[in-house]
Chain A
Amino acid sequence: MSPVKKIKVRNFHQAKWDEPIIFELGTKGERGILLPEIEGEIEAAVGDGLSKIPKHMIRKQPPRLPEISQMQILKHYLRLSQETLGADLNVDIGQGTCTMKYSPKINEILATSPKLTALHPSQPISTVQGILEIFHKTDLFLREISGLDQFTLQPASGSQAILTMSSIIKAYHEDNGENKQRDEIITTIFSHPSDAAAPAVQGYKIIDIYPNQEGLPDLEALKEAISDRTAGLFITNPEDTGIYNPKIKEFTRMIHEVGGLCGYDQANANGILGIARAKEADFDMCFFNLHKTFSSPHGCGGPSAGALGVKKELIKFLPIPLVGYNGSEYYLDYDVSHTIGKVRSYYGVVSAVLKAYLWIISLGKEGLEEVSRIAVLNNNYLLKKVLEISGTSAPYAEGHHRIEQVRYSWSKLTEETGITTEDITNRMIDFGFHMWSSHHPFIVPQPFTLEPTESYSKAEIDEYIAGLAKVAKEAYTNPEIVKNAPHRSVVHKLITNSLDDPDKWAITWRAYLKKWKNDRI
């Protein structure tokens, strides 16, 4: 019997417009906006705007930008929007690890208010007390949530927050005269890939730990990994499997014993708000992606922010300026003795911080805890239902509940039908759903990762399960329809071969013209 026999999937069909790229549209001389002539009074005050630019910096040819009218440009982007599956459009629980949740629209309105957008980051401090208050209070909220002692909201993404943690580790060991000796960062294979990538960019050697049979980072392997060369540990918990590591304190203890620092990747903290904190697990640092757990829109819907907190011993290394409050006024504090400098211009990503702040104050302490409890409940309901579908499994921790997400496997279905995760991903599109495999490296065979967060209703979760159940049933009864999917999408089949071939890819229009049309300027 189907796990959700009464729920029907939608008879979805994506719009297909065959829309050209914007650079292929318009005609020479066409304009969307005609700028007014400069007024004499303004010109007298600021000049013509060009003559102050050094000659060598003025380009010889104007940029080859699209020349197109307003109406055409509006249609262009509306058509493109209809060819995507945005987070506000579909039941986006198939994008596990990404914490796709509802971003309240009132927060968008506030973030696009001229009260915010008309601010200039170089304005005198006395005129920006409001936004500084929001920064300071967000810092205080995050201190409560993590147990740590000070936050910087400057990093513009999770990966940049990891890079900032890596810089702090470097500065810390430099301060202790051990920087040369400590050149290794330890992470786990199920932690976010940036936990390895960011410190590698900075020159650290990376050691990663594979999971044990229970799917937890192998403590015995950690014993082999640590040494007097250990600079630090970057780890996610729960990892992308959704399993919480109950021995996390053992990990931080062992790293501290050899003189390393511990950075907690809490990019996604959606299952543990108000339940488990970085402080109690003895982490020295942690960061939150405000665009994941804290509802600011995600990824390409961005912009993002990686809020990074530290213990008081490490405050002296934080990027400048910090935002402080002296009892009567908010201020920018540049007096940070061992600062690593700036990691981004000005304050950070103001709109993302504002939306996170609004989300936190609208929920309060109890609301935040409820977010996590519902996210975990939704996830475990989903887990039970998914495991009723033929061909699925949830490797590791059998019989235990998971936190906020689960990395599942279609390997049984693949063995029995030849249908792979990629095929199922393509078929789910036919019902208006997205399903994601997982981060590489692929340890779990034929993986897929689901995360329902707290936002989706039971009806929506059931609809998604019905989609999975339908596709799984088709795999056994009519595999060709799955194999040849999608049938109702913009593009029939994506050929991804050239994605990792530098000789073929072109990630900009200019690169395309240069590589494929021999058009060089």
Chain B
Amino acid sequence: MIITKKVGLIVNPIAGMGGRVGLKGTDGVEILEQARLLGAQPESHNRALIAIQKLLPIKEKIELITYPEEMGGIIAKKCGFQPTIIGSISKGKTTSEDTQKAAKDLLDLNIHLLLFAGGDGTARDIYDAIESKVVTLGIPTGVKIQSAVFARNPTRAGELALAFLQERTHRVRETEVMDIDEDLFREGIVRAKLYGYLTIPYERAHVQSSKAGSPETESFAHQAIAEEIIENMETDYFYIVGPGTTTRAIMDKLQLVNTLLGIDLIYNKKLIANDLNESKLVHHIQGKKVKLIITPIGGQGYILGRGNQQLSPDIIKKIGKENIVVIATRNKLNSLNGQPLLVDSGDKGVDELLCGYIGIITGYREKSIYKVVC
């Protein structure tokens, strides 16, 4: 038997427990206890099982490596694998530290793909532990799924993992790890934050066409957008470059240092500052001619209010709608399934200002007129 691929598996056994009992997530020991008292049952196992069952056809060709018991060992065996079990846990009392430790241990074993079952909190743990050093894919089992690192459902996660391991799809893409502030969320306030990017197997929006001759790759689309932006940059304007991989391509093309998760400022194609917070940004742009370049963050199409909260309503008012340049790949727009783009700046007036139809730059000399609602 020739083992060709190592696959890591991490199951967050408590992810998803809050949902059925009306809690919004299970981050934090107290909430978890509350969930258990309310009769919550582990959801993660069943959903993770659906995904890894899809790998059974190549069982002989992969080595499935996982943590003991409820963190992967149980379902791997139940599914029919003979997993390599590493690490140790306190049964029934796993925490986010266990997830992080498992991710690091698996990375050390040079795995080809890391499958993890959980929610946004789990994705964040994985990112904190190993960033995007290995190709990863989320099996959605949590209550909150805002991160784009998850497949649409466990079945798709399994199929995409299978396609990647069988080398039917080679490409990978960076996608957002988003998480919300759970304390605020339980009070009914939704605020998502962009925590980082994980690399996942790439799947074109909706379907892979076997007829399409040369559909553009994500990286090509980024390059084309960056070219369009740079060609039209006006002199003596400050350009605020928002977070995201689409905006990063502009900085890369200009050979400027970029903050993937933060706000950068350039002037006449030269870097002024990286990773600015609201007050520093205000200081730099006060009384100046300014344009803002932003891209929708996360899978839900927010152009403001998710992942770029440094751009406060006051700053947006100063910049003015006419100076906001929104960029997005077609793949990203199409993945919205016709739903409009969203703004949630925290200020109703600003949100209304941005509502309506805007031109989104989607390529070199290409734009789409798209609806924005608040």
A225 to B371, alpha carbons, bound, how many Å?
Answer: 12
Q: A207-B368, A441-B330 are in contact. Are A446 and B206 (CB under 8 A)?
A: yes
CB nearest neighbor in B for A211: B338
- Chain A residues with CB under 8 A of B155: 418
A78 to B230, alpha carbons, bound, how many Å?
Answer: 54
What are the interface flags for A413-430 relative to B under an 8 Å C-beta threshold, 1 for contact and 0 otherwise? Answer: 001001011100100000
Near A by CB (< 8 A), chain B positions 356-374 give 356-359, 365-371
A223 contacts partner chain B, Cβ-Cβ < 8 Å: yes
Q: A418-B156, A500-B214 are in contact. Are A441 and B334 (CB under 8 A)?
A: yes
Q: A189-B368, A223-B357 are in contact. Are A445 and B206 (CB under 8 A)?
A: yes
- Chain A residues with CB under 8 A of B235: none
CB nearest neighbor in A for B163: A497
B169 contacts partner chain A, Cβ-Cβ < 8 Å: yes
Q: How many residues of B contact A (CB 8 A)?
A: 40
- Chain B residues with CB under 8 A of A263: none
B3 contacts partner chain A, Cβ-Cβ < 8 Å: no
What are the interface flags for A171-204 relative to B under an 8 Å C-beta threshold, 1 for contact and 0 otherwise? Answer: 0000000000000000001000000100010001
CB nearest neighbor in B for A443: B334
Q: Is there an interface contact between B207 and A446, defined as CB atoms closer than 8 Å?
A: yes
A200 to B224, alpha carbons, bound, how many Å?
Answer: 14
Q: Is there an interface contact between B366 and A200, defined as CB atoms closer than 8 Å?
A: yes
A462 contacts partner chain B, Cβ-Cβ < 8 Å: no
- Chain B residues with CB under 8 A of A213: 338
Choose one: B213, B356, B369; the contact of A210 (CB below 8 Å).
Answer: B369
B58 contacts partner chain A, Cβ-Cβ < 8 Å: no
Q: Is there an interface contact between A436 and B211, defined as CB atoms closer than 8 Å?
A: yes
A210 to B301, alpha carbons, bound, how many Å?
Answer: 15
Q: Is there an interface contact between B215 and A420, defined as CB atoms closer than 8 Å?
A: no
Q: A210-B370, A221-B371 are in contact. Are A442 and B205 (CB under 8 A)?
A: yes
Q: How far is the CB of A92 from chain B (nearest CB, A)?
A: 14
A224 contacts partner chain B, Cβ-Cβ < 8 Å: yes
Choose one: A206, A418, A421; the contact of B207 (CB below 8 Å).
Answer: A421
Q: A224-B359, A446-B206, A446-B207 are in contact. Are A208 and B368 (CB under 8 A)?
A: yes
Q: How far is the CB of A475 from chain B (nearest CB, A)?
A: 12
Q: How far is the CB of B98 from chain A (nearest CB, A)?
A: 30
A205 to B231, alpha carbons, bound, how many Å?
Answer: 13
A418 to B152, alpha carbons, bound, how many Å?
Answer: 10
Q: Is there an interface contact between A418 and B370, defined as CB atoms closer than 8 Å?
A: no
Q: Is there an interface contact between B208 and A496, defined as CB atoms closer than 8 Å?
A: yes
Q: Is there an interface contact between A220 and B357, defined as CB atoms closer than 8 Å?
A: yes
B168 contacts partner chain A, Cβ-Cβ < 8 Å: yes
Near A by CB (< 8 A), chain B positions 189-238 give 204-217
B337 contacts partner chain A, Cβ-Cβ < 8 Å: yes
A443 to B213, alpha carbons, bound, how many Å?
Answer: 18
What are the interface flags for A482-497 relative to B under an 8 Å C-beta threshold, 1 for contact and 0 otherwise? Answer: 0000000000001111
A447 contacts partner chain B, Cβ-Cβ < 8 Å: yes
Choose one: A218, A422, A496; the contact of B371 (CB below 8 Å).
Answer: A218
Near A by CB (< 8 A), chain B positions 150-175 give 152-153, 155-156, 159, 168-171
A338 to B208, alpha carbons, bound, how many Å?
Answer: 45
Main secondary structure of the interface of B (DSSP, over half): loop
Choose one: A204, A221, A446, A499; the contact of B370 (CB below 8 Å).
Answer: A221
Q: How far is the CB of B41 from chain A (nearest CB, A)?
A: 24
Q: Is there an interface contact between B153 and A437, defined as CB atoms closer than 8 Å?
A: no
A443 to B338, alpha carbons, bound, how many Å?
Answer: 7
- Chain A residues with CB under 8 A of B159: 418
A206 to B368, alpha carbons, bound, how many Å?
Answer: 8
Q: Is there an interface contact between A224 and B356, defined as CB atoms closer than 8 Å?
A: yes
Q: Is there an interface contact between A206 and B366, defined as CB atoms closer than 8 Å?
A: yes
A497 to B365, alpha carbons, bound, how many Å?
Answer: 27
A209 contacts partner chain B, Cβ-Cβ < 8 Å: yes
Q: Is there an interface contact between B365 and A440, defined as CB atoms closer than 8 Å?
A: no
- Chain B residues with CB under 8 A of A445: 205-207, 337
A208 to B367, alpha carbons, bound, how many Å?
Answer: 6
- Chain B residues with CB under 8 A of A220: 357, 371
A218 to B367, alpha carbons, bound, how many Å?
Answer: 15
Q: How far is the CB of A293 from chain B (nearest CB, A)?
A: 21
Q: Is there an interface contact between B359 and A207, defined as CB atoms closer than 8 Å?
A: yes
Choose one: B170, B210, B369; the contact of A425 (CB below 8 Å).
Answer: B210
- Chain B residues with CB under 8 A of A441: 205, 330-331, 333-334
**From A196, A436, A441, A445, residue with most partner B Cβ within 10 Å:** A441
- Chain B residues with CB under 8 A of A500: 212-217
- Chain A residues with CB under 8 A of B217: 500
A346 to B334, alpha carbons, bound, how many Å?
Answer: 43
Q: Is there an interface contact between B206 and A210, defined as CB atoms closer than 8 Å?
A: no
Q: A418-B159, A437-B207, A441-B334 are in contact. Are A221 and B357 (CB under 8 A)?
A: yes
Choose one: A209, A440, A443, A444; the contact of B215 (CB below 8 Å).
Answer: A440
Choose one: A225, A415, A438; the contact of B369 (CB below 8 Å).
Answer: A225
A497 to B155, alpha carbons, bound, how many Å?
Answer: 22
CB nearest neighbor in B for A206: B366
Q: How far is the CB of A486 from chain B (nearest CB, A)?
A: 12
Q: Is there an interface contact between A208 and B213, defined as CB atoms closer than 8 Å?
A: no
- Chain A residues with CB under 8 A of B370: 210, 221
Q: Is there an interface contact between B369 and A205, defined as CB atoms closer than 8 Å?
A: no
CB nearest neighbor in B for A189: B368
Q: How far is the CB of A195 from chain B (nearest CB, A)?
A: 13
Q: Is there an interface contact between A494 and B210, defined as CB atoms closer than 8 Å?
A: yes
A436 to B207, alpha carbons, bound, how many Å?
Answer: 11
Q: Is there an interface contact between B368 and A497, defined as CB atoms closer than 8 Å?
A: no
A213 to B159, alpha carbons, bound, how many Å?
Answer: 31
CB nearest neighbor in A for B365: A205
Q: How far is the CB of B116 from chain A (nearest CB, A)?
A: 20
A115 to B215, alpha carbons, bound, how many Å?
Answer: 44
Q: Is there an interface contact between B206 and A422, defined as CB atoms closer than 8 Å?
A: no
A172 to B209, alpha carbons, bound, how many Å?
Answer: 38
- Chain B residues with CB under 8 A of A205: 365-367
Q: How far is the CB of A250 from chain B (nearest CB, A)?
A: 16
- Chain B residues with CB under 8 A of A189: 368
Q: Is there an interface contact between B214 and A224, defined as CB atoms closer than 8 Å?
A: no
Q: How far is the CB of A57 from chain B (nearest CB, A)?
A: 33
A399 to B155, alpha carbons, bound, how many Å?
Answer: 32
- Chain A residues with CB under 8 A of B209: 422, 437-438, 440, 442
- Chain B residues with CB under 8 A of A422: 207-210
What are the interface flags for A29-66 relative to B under an 8 Å C-beta threshold, 1 for contact and 0 otherwise? Answer: 00000000000000000000000000000000000000
Q: List 21 A-B contacts (CB under 8 A).
A: A205-B365, A206-B365, A207-B369, A213-B338, A218-B369, A221-B357, A221-B369, A223-B357, A224-B369, A225-B369, A418-B155, A422-B207, A422-B209, A440-B212, A443-B337, A445-B207, A445-B337, A446-B207, A500-B212, A500-B213, A500-B215
Pairs of residues from A and B, 4 with the lowest C-beta to C-beta distance, nearest first: A224-B357, A418-B155, A221-B369, A442-B206
Given A221-B357, A443-B337, 14 further pairs, Cβ under 8 A: A200-B366, A204-B365, A206-B366, A208-B366, A221-B369, A224-B356, A224-B357, A224-B359, A415-B152, A418-B155, A437-B209, A437-B211, A438-B209, A497-B169
